[in-house]
Amino acid sequence: MGKCVQCGFCCTRRACCYGEWDAEKKQCAFLTEDMLCAKYGETEIMADTVMPAFGAGCCSALNDWRMKKLQELGEIPADMTYEQYFGYCMIRDIEEQVNDESSTSQ
Ligand code: SF4
Ligand code: SF4
């Protein structure tokens, strides 16, 4: 699961447990115009979480918003294509899984 960088994708698919679905806008009512969570920091749990959407859409094949956000943040090259980005997501997920397994088996 990737880290949430607040691309807003998840919040236009369904509201998380802190959210409220706006059927007219087809997004969570708390998603701001600049795609941030207006409820962030409101509760103790949310203060520990960048955005409580929990990575649901991070590696969705339909989501190129996160790639654009990572490019804006300078975390991946600006000229990375979506195909390259998707491969990068897969490799990173496998690496994280391997690291998790080796840390729990010690
Ligand atoms: S993270 Fe914030 S904006 Fe997104 S669904 Fe949850 S409450 Fe709504
Ligand atoms: S797709 Fe990932 S980065 Fe974007 S809002 Fe969802 S969890 Fe956050």
Question: What are 28-40's pLDDT values in tens digits?
Answer: 999 999 988 888 7
> Which among 21, 1, 4 has a CA at the least distance from the CA of 65?
4
pLDDT tens digits, 58-86: 777 778 898 999 999 998 999 999 888 88
Shortest CA distance to 21 belongs to which of 10, 33, 6? 10
**Could you give phi then psi for residue 41, rounded to 5 degrees?**
85, -5
- Burial (CB count within 10 angstroms: exposed 0-12, middle 13-18, buried 19+), residue 98: exposed
Q: How many CA atoms lie within 13 A of 95 on its CB side?
A: 7
Ligand that lies nearest to the alpha carbon of residue 32, given by its number in the listed order: 1
d(CA 68, ligand 1 centre) in Å? 19
Q: Report the sign of the C-alpha dihedral through residues 53, 1, 33, 73, in that order.
A: positive
Nearest CA to ligand 2 atom 8: 4
For residue 52, pLDDT over 60 is answered with no
The rounded Å distance from CA 24 to ligand 2 centre is 22
pLDDT above 60 (res 1): no
Could you report how far apart the first and last alpha carbons of the chain are, in Å? 22
Nearest CA to ligand 2 atom 6: 10
Distance of CA 28 from the midpoint of ligand 1 (Å): 6
Identify the DSSP state of 25.
T
Ligand nearest the Cα atom of residue 69: 2
Q: Taking 70 as the threshold, does the pLDDT of residue 105 lie above it?
A: no
